Amino acid sequence: MPEIWARLAQERCTDYKLQFERVFSVPGDAAMLNSTLLSPDVLNYTAVPYNITWYNSKTGQEMSNQTGRILVLGETLWFLNTTLEDAGEYTTVLRTPLSCFMQSTKLVVDTPNAGECERPQKTSQELTDGVADHLNCPLGEYIYKLESYRITSSIQWYKGCE
């Protein structure tokens, strides 16, 4: 068992366990893991000083920035060029002067099916035939987070892989 987990047990870190939502990616694409601990439901983060650390749950190793690969920005862990080896659980630890909280997030990295341009994991939306309707981009959370860093981005829509 990695040393970090014994230390967190000594700190009596409240464990919120594994988040229900999974993050899906394919090799070579970006993936954003976002901790839900930085929430008014957990603490008053505007009034209480805090520190956030990300760990690889399997190895216990603290996650750190790796140029072109990994970016750690507070409650968000970015994989900029996802590999199959990145798949697994990652744990956020949020510490305040008086308490400690932790929660894991699961990253699923799937290889696309040979000869198919579609993703192995898909999201679907229902559209009403014969009336004006909207498709919502499932990457909205990514875009919002990038904008909060003042990073511009663009979206390219495809129909039938073209």
Mode of pairing for the β-strands spanning 100-109 and 88-95:
antiparallel
Task: Kindly report the pTM of this predicted structure.
Answer: 0.81
- Identify the structural domains of the chain with CATH numbers, from first to last: 3-111+133-148 (2.60.40.10)
Report pLDDT digits (tens) over 85-113: 999 999 999 999 988 999 999 999 998 87
Q: Quick one: pLDDT at residue 129?
A: 75
160: phi then psi, degrees, rounded to nearest 5 = 60, 35
Task: Report the C-alpha gap between 64 and 112 in whole angstroms.
Answer: 28
Q: Are 55 and 93 in contact (CB under 8 A)?
A: yes
Report pLDDT digits (tens) over 19-43: 888 899 889 888 999 998 888 777 7
